[in-house]
Amino acid sequence: MTGKERYEQIKIPSGLSGVIQQARQRARNQKRRKMIIWRSSSLVAACAAVMITANVPGVAKALSDVPVIGSVVKILQVGGGGERTDGVSVTTTQESDTLNIHFQIDGEQITSAPSYTVDHKEGPNRLIFTFNGVRNLDYAKLENDIKALKNVKDVYQNIILDDSAIGFVVELKDHVDYSVSEYQQPGYIQLKLSSAEKSTQSHELFFVRSEDMEQGEALAMLAEQYSADGSSVVQTKNGTFTVVMGAFENRADAEKHLKEFTDREDYSQQLHVDSWMSNENPQ
């Protein structure tokens, strides 16, 4: 007797058919519940993605290359995030038009990015990164990696009078889109640059600014003095630096802003009104 014949002659116990049917039905019910849960989770994730990226042009482009390692927390153009920490070391890696900013403590990657802010300003078109709770930065590597991005014009340090904070400025070329993504597990920040789908016309802007200064403590102190007024440090065309406030569309508004400064009791540094193009550095 062949194996097939023996198989066909096996007697099926009574009631087994009903058991099989019940098992199949349970399997179908479990699969249906899993599909409902999966779809609900997908909907929540999609809604979250819409919420965190609502103000970012080209969101699809920003999300098209999500890395396998780490989960996205938020994608932004200005703002901040991360968690309060201390003793963090910063390193970078660069590939194509993407910069990854990594964080470690005692040589181990941390699960979340340290507290950070990203600001965007014109005159010139630039991104200002600030990280708190950071003690060590390989600035030479950061500078090399950022300058390797084809859409970057320049990069320089933003000196902060706090030994647990670091800052740097990334000047962008004309007609560039960008997104800044925060990831967890491990925690890192990713800067992505790409050619803008729509070009923006450069235009004249008016600023309240200081005299030219060298990088150092005096420059940092002046920037800190006017930090509540939105001050930022800009590199001039001759390689020095200046503290600027505002980005006004006309000289009258800038002059009015200057008078508010000169009327203050703590006013000492000579400030004046100047103008230059939105995509250029001051003279």
- Count other C-beta atoms under 10 Å from residue 79's C-beta: 15
187-235, pLDDT tens digit by residue? 999 999 999 988 889 999 999 999 999 999 999 999 999 999 999 999 9
Q: Give the tens place of pLDDT for each residue, 230-251.
A: 999 999 999 999 999 999 999 9
Q: In whole numbers, what is the pLDDT of the chain averaged over residues?
A: 83
Beta bridge partners of 194: 177
**For the chain, percent of residues with pLDDT exceeding 70:** 76
Q: Which of 40-54, 100-114, 119-133, 269-283 shows the lowest per-residue confidence on average (mean pLDDT)?
A: 40-54
Q: What is the pLDDT of residues 113-147, one digit of tens each?
A: 999 999 999 999 999 999 999 999 999 999 999 99
SS (H, E, C) 75-143: EECCEEECECCCCEEEEEEEECCEEEEEEEECCEECCCCECEEEEEECCCCEEEEEEECEEEECHHHHH
Mean pLDDT of 96-106: 95
Q: What is the pLDDT of residue 33?
A: 53
19-28, 95-104, 232-241: which has the minimum mean pLDDT? 19-28
Burial class (CB in 10 A: 0-12, 13-18, 19+), 183: buried
Banded pLDDT at 63 (limits 50, 70, 90): very low
pTM: 0.77
pLDDT band for 82, please (50, 70, 90 cuts).
very high
| Top-confidence residue, 186 or 266 | 186
Burial 86-112 (b: 16+ CB within 10 A, else e): eebbbbbebeebbbbbbbbeeeeebeb
Highest mean pLDDT among 21-25, 67-71, 270-274: 270-274
Give the residue from 52, 114, 50 showing the smallest Cα distance to 82. Answer: 114
Decide: 219 and 131 in contact? Cβ < 8 Å.
no
